[in-house]
Every structure is written in structure tokens, then in C-alpha cells.
Amino acid sequence: MRRPLNSLIQSSAYAFYKVLTTHCHALKLGTLADVYTANKILNAYTRCKELHIARKLFDEIPHRDTVSWNTMIGGFVNCGNLETACKILKNMRRCDFDFDGYSFGSLLKGVASAYRLEVGQQLHSMVIKMGYEENVYAGSALLDMYAKCEKVEDAYTVFEYLPEPNSVSWNALIAGFSKVGDRSTAFWLLHCMEKEGVRAEDGTFAPLLTLLDDIEFYKLTIQIHGKIVKHGLAFDNTVSNAMITAYSECGSIRDARKVFDGAVGMRDLVTWNSMLAAYLVHEEEELGFQLFLDMQRLGFEPDIYTYTSILSACFEKAHKSHGQSLHAVVIKRGLEFLVPISNALIAMYIKSNNTSMGEALKLFESMELKDRVSWNSILTGFSQIGLNEDALKLFGQMRSLMVEIDHYAFSAVLRSCADLATLQLGRQVHVLAIKSGFETNDFVASALIFLYSKCGIIEDARKSFEETPNDTSIAWNSLIFGYAQNGQGSIALDLFFLMRDRKVRLDHITFVAVLTACSHIGLVEEGLNFLKSMESDYGIPPRMEHYACAVDLLGRARRLGEARTLIESMPFKPDAMVWKTLLGACRVCGDIELATQVASHLLELEPEEHCTYVLLSHLYGHLRRWDEKANLTRLMRERGVKKVPGWSWIEIKNQVHAFNAEDQSHPLCKEIYQMLGELMEEITWLDTDTGLDALISDFDEPCESCDAKLLSAGNF
């Protein structure tokens, strides 16, 4: 339902017109001398945020009282001008007016909004000095200030001094403990509140619902929902919005939608945004796009949060056109210069595919104002798509421009150091992370573990792990991967069981790591059992990457038939990653018939992806089926598919040298190729009967030339 016409007319302009009219009548009738009338007009001006007129009227009131001063303090606080409000309080004292509970209450509200704890503590001393610590208004405001500044112990101390705490006091305390994530205390306070006979309100339940953010709290969410209905708050806007988010976080998109549908006629923009976020969290992108259209059709204009949310759903290939359309809408509505929206667009282009990095860079360079997120997005983009040298250069630029380096930046640049195997540079970044106080951050520790594991120094990876709190799965997963990839799968599995025994929350990445460990040490049955028990024992449904790991597990054991059967039994259509894994297994086993069938699936899914052609070409070459190999090379040429050259890096005297196949750009190019030639001659001379002749013949093959060259370049 729409709001009635008369309520829509009550705009700020109309309200201001009414105040002016009242003021004029008061001047004409001479009633401004009456302090009650003057205060009423003064309050109306502050509500309209016309503080310059209010200040002038305040100065003209002949007989001001405490209400006049409190009205001005409250007006400036509501407009976010805490400094002026404090000056008025000081002037109030100089003019021999006593403060009351409302004076402190208004000013403490401003302190809480600005998170100015030191000012709040000074006011607290004044409250005690003047004997207002038991005043319900001053006390509740003090409690709220401490709670919002996350000083919950101090808030509780203030609460204990209140003779008769009201619902505002209880709600402020519950909100404070909810904000710091103290779930048990927050719900204990709800129990105490109900026991004391204080009626719960929307401000009671909304903070509590933010704590219900996991599937294990689903039943508790239903119980709280029941209390909400019992108290007649089911149709309260704030509570409904929080309920949508809570059900979504607890894994029930169906219940979230029920709450949303029940809020017809009371929905605001937050309601729509909450439901949109719920759809996107549950990967229901199509429903999210439809909701985005519906809200506009019903007259709700999207805000920054709406656009940033919907843009985050556009990185999948199927939704790429939606992302471009939304970019056009953003430009049309003049929102492209808003930093959060530009950041969302950058992230969308980076995530969509590697070829869109140019679009992301254009956006980044066109931004007049860049925040930390802008820089981190580009840095992470470079790192993720393999432009590691660019990532290192950008990191250096960030430091020279004094951009704040946070844990996301450290994590990205350490990953690039790992990919380049630049151990010394990685150690320097490690030292910088320690100086910045981020060495115990989960994401930074995970990147450090990855770096040292990739460089084969698993002992240092373990040290980085030991220095973290180890209470989340992030560092555990990285270390399990590290041991698995360094050939120590048994230790990796021991870590998994230790992680489980310590009740660290497992996630889908944990099982990717575990299945990788099983694959590397040949524990086929154990790995398959892990896959089967994921959902039943741990509540984690297997994803595409888990099936890909299982296919790799079976492929390494040369059980291709079982691998094919597993793919056919998957609850979703296999993607390119799964087929590539099976194709790699076919190459190892030399099964050309199955490889040809798998390749046909891949060429249909990704006709321009060079990896499929290269893997199949390797297999044809290995089996000496030269005609098929030549046909494949011809097909690549006809389709314009080129093998992306591989890269190799070497770090000398803290400088990274990069090479790719047939590279001529290095200043020492002649010396490098001379050394390569000498090495190849020596290899040929040392062993001509060990199959290296095939390697040398491949050296001249256009699709496979990088392997031997990069090996030699790395040795150089």
C-alpha cells in the first residue's frame, strides 16, 4: 500500500513553510516573549535543520530556560555538529543554567554517533559530579554511548547504577553486546529483561538477529521469530529486515522469502536490499536480477548498496551482459563517480574473465578519488590472473603514494611472490607485514604459508601457521595444501583430524585440501569416503571442485572407468575443470579413445581455450599419432587458437628476471640463448637413450617449445 497523499505532502519544505508562518504570527501577536511559544518554534526550526534561523531566534529570546538550551544542543547533535553542541553546553553553564538529564542525554547521543569515547568519558565525570548517574535519561544515554563505542563492560556498570532501567536501557545494552559478538551475554540479557517484566521491542530483537549468522542457529532463529510474532512485531519494518537477513545467514532462503512476502505494504529500500543480498548469498542470481527489476517497477529507486550488490552477481560468464547493461545504467544515472560503485564495477570486470582486466584498469585510472578498496581490487586482480610483476610494481606504487597497506594488500602481493617463487622478496614483504602488525592475520598467514610451501620451505610455512590464533579454517586449509603439495600427504591428513578434534569450523576448501592430499599419496578409497561423507557427516555438500579432485584421485590410480562413472553421477552438469582433469588422466594412462570423447566436450564448452588442444596434442605425440596431431594443429590455426606461452622467473640479487618461450627482450638475450644451446648439447651428450630425444624434438614444436626452454632458463 502507498502512503496517503496528505502524509506525502508533509515534506521538509512544507514543514519549513509552516514554521515560518507560525513564527510570523507570533511576531505579529507579540507572543514570542512567552518562552513556551518561543521554544516550540525553536524546536520546529531545529527539526527542519534550519539551524542558522534557530540560532538567531535563540539569541532573541528574552527569557531563555533550560528547554531552550537543550533544544539547541539537540538540534546541533542531530545535524552531526558535535563541536558546536559542546560549546553551547559550556555557554549554558556560564550563563548559570543547570544541566539536566535531557542536556546530557542529547550530547551523549552525539558522542555515541561520532564514537568520541574520550568526550563521553568527560561527560560521564560531569554526570557523576552533578548527581545525574541515576537519572534515566542521562544514564541510558551514557549506557548507549559506551555500548556503541564497544566498551560493554563500562556500559554494564552504568546499567547496574540505574534504579529502574527501562526498555531503552535494556535495548542499548543488548545492542552493545550484540555489536561485539557476545552472543551468550546478549541472549542472557534478553532472558533477564523478560524476567523483569520489561516488554521487548523492535530495538530488542533487531540486534539479536544479527548474531544468528550460521546454519547451527536456525532453530534459535525460529524461536526468536515466534517471540517476535507473540509481541506483535512481525510487521515492524526493522525487525522484518533483520529476519530476512537472519534466515538467509542460517541457510533458509525459503523462510527469508516468506518474511519478505509477508511484508507487503511495509517494505522500504532496506527490505528490498536485504532480500536481494539473500538471493545473491545463496547464488540465486536470476531471482536477484528479477527482484532488482521488480523493486524499480514498484517505485523504489536503487541506492549505492543495491548497485554494489547486484554488480557482485555479474562476474559469471552467463551474466556478463547484465554487468555491461548495469554499467550503462550507472553511467546514465550519473553514479559512476561514486567510489563504492566504481569499486564494484572494477571487481565485476576482474572476476568475469582475464580479458576484462583492461576494462577494470580503465575504470581505476579514470577515478578521481581512489580508496584502499580501489587499489586492493586492482592488486588482487593482477595477482589472480597471473600478472604478478604488475602486482609487485603496483604494490611499490601504493607504498610510494602512502596508500594504507592492509591485510588484503599483503595477502595479494605475497601470493604474487609465491607464484614468481621470489623467496627473498617474499621474506621482505613478510618483515613489512610484521612491522605493520599483520603477521597473525589469517589471510596474511595463509599467504605466507602458501609462499613458503611453494618455495619448498615447509618448516617456515609451519612457523607462520603456529604464529596465528588457529581458530578459523583459513590458515589450517593453507597448511594442509602445503603439506599435500610437498609430498607429505600423511601429515596433511593428520592436520585435518587435529583440526576436527579442536572443533575448528570446516569448510568446502578444507575438503579440497584433504582430497588433494589423498590424491598425492594414492589413498583412493579414503579420498572417496571423504567425498561421500562430506554432506552426511559435516553438512558440506560437495561442489564441482571436490568432484574434480576425486576425478584426479581416480585418474592417478589409473581407474578411468570409475572416474567417468563418477562424473556421470554428479548432481550437476560437469564444467570444463572436471573434463580437463579427466583429460589429463587420459594423457597419463594413454587412453586415446576416452581422451577424444572428453576433448569433444571441452571443445564445445571452451572452443578458444588452448589447454585442451595442448593436452590432446601431447597425447597424440606420445602415442606417435602424427596425423591426428597435425590435424589438431591445423584446427587450432583455423580457429585462431594460440598456445599461451609459459613463463619462467629467476631472482638474482633481489631482482626478478622473467622469460617466456622464444623471448628476445632481455638485455642479456644472446648470452642466455648461448647458454641454452650449450646446456641442450650437454644433455644430449649425457643421455641419448633415456627418451630425451623426444624432448629435444618437442623443442622445435610450436605448441610445446616452452617446457625445455623454461627449464633451462630457470637453471641459468
**pLDDT tens digit sequence for 667-712:** 778 888 888 888 888 887 775 554 444 444 443 443 333 333 333 3
Question: Does residue 515 contact residue 548 with C-beta atoms inside 8 Å?
Answer: no
Alpha-carbon distance of 212 to 246, in angstroms, equals 6
Alpha-carbon distance of 33 to 63, in angstroms, equals 7
Q: What is the pLDDT of residue 702?
A: 39
Which band of pLDDT confidence, cut at 50, 70 and 90, is reported for residue 449?
A: very high
Alpha-carbon distance of 36 to 138, in angstroms, equals 23
Alpha-carbon distance of 149 to 157, in angstroms, equals 14
Alpha-carbon distance of 444 to 409, in angstroms, equals 9
- Is the pLDDT assigned to residue 6 strictly greater than 90? no
Dump pLDDT digits (tens) for 306-324. 999 999 888 776 666 788 8
Which band of pLDDT confidence, cut at 50, 70 and 90, is reported for residue 2?
A: very low
Q: What is the pLDDT of residue 353?
A: 67
Percent of the chain at pLDDT exceeding 90? 44
- Is the pLDDT assigned to residue 504 strictly greater than 70? yes
- Is the pLDDT assigned to residue 542 strictly greater than 80? yes
Give the residue-averaged pLDDT of 534-546. 89
Domain map (residue ranges) of the chain: 650-687
Give the residue-averaged pLDDT of 183-196. 94
Dump pLDDT digits (tens) for 624-656. 778 777 877 777 777 766 666 666 666 666 666
Q: What is the pLDDT of residue 641?
A: 66
Evaluated on CA atoms 167, 173, 176, 178, the torsion sign reads negative
Give the residue-averaged pLDDT of 331-353. 89
- Is the pLDDT assigned to residue 63 strictly greater than 90? no
- Whose cell is 501577536? That residue is 29
Dump pLDDT digits (tens) for 42-60. 888 888 888 888 888 888 8
Pick the residue with more confidence: 577 or 178?
A: 178
Torsion of CA 165, 169, 171, 176, to 10 degrees: -130
Q: Is 4 exposed, middle or buried (0-12, 13-18, 19+ CB in 10 A)?
A: exposed
Which band of pLDDT confidence, cut at 50, 70 and 90, is reported for residue 715?
A: very low
56-65: b (≥16 Cβ within 10 Å) or e: ebbeebeebe
2 — phi, psi (to 5°)?
Answer: -85, 155
Question: Does residue 446 contact residue 474 with C-beta atoms inside 8 Å?
Answer: yes
Least confidently predicted of 130-134, 284-288, 341-345, 693-697: 693-697
Give the residue-averaged pLDDT of 176-195. 94
Q: What is the pLDDT of residue 278?
A: 95
What's the gap between Cα 528 and its chain centre? 32
- Is the pLDDT assigned to residue 425 strictly greater than 50? yes
Q: What is the DSSP letter of 688?
A: S
Alpha-carbon distance of 448 to 427, in angstroms, equals 9
Question: Does residue 233 contact residue 241 with C-beta atoms inside 8 Å?
Answer: no
Q: What is the pLDDT of residue 644?
A: 62
Which band of pLDDT confidence, cut at 50, 70 and 90, is reported for residue 714?
A: very low
Closest residue by Cα to residue 563 from 546, 582, 544, 577: 582
Give the residue-averaged pLDDT of 108-117. 86
298 — phi, psi (to 5°)?
Answer: -90, 10
- Is the pLDDT assigned to residue 460 strictly greater than 90? yes
Alpha-carbon distance of 660 to 389, in angstroms, equals 13
Phi-psi sector, 264: left (phi>0), alpha (psi -120 to 50), beta: beta
Alpha-carbon distance of 313 to 321, in angstroms, equals 12
Residue 660: beta bridge partners?
A: 647
Q: What is the pLDDT of residue 582?
A: 87
26 — phi, psi (to 5°)?
Answer: -65, -40
- Is the pLDDT assigned to residue 170 strictly greater than 70? yes
Torsion of CA 386, 614, 482, 514, to 10 degrees: 120
Dump pLDDT digits (tens) for 199-254. 999 999 999 999 998 888 999 999 999 999 999 999 899 999 999 999 999 999 99
- Is the pLDDT assigned to residue 579 strictly greater than 90? no
Question: Does residue 612 contact residue 602 with C-beta atoms inside 8 Å?
Answer: yes
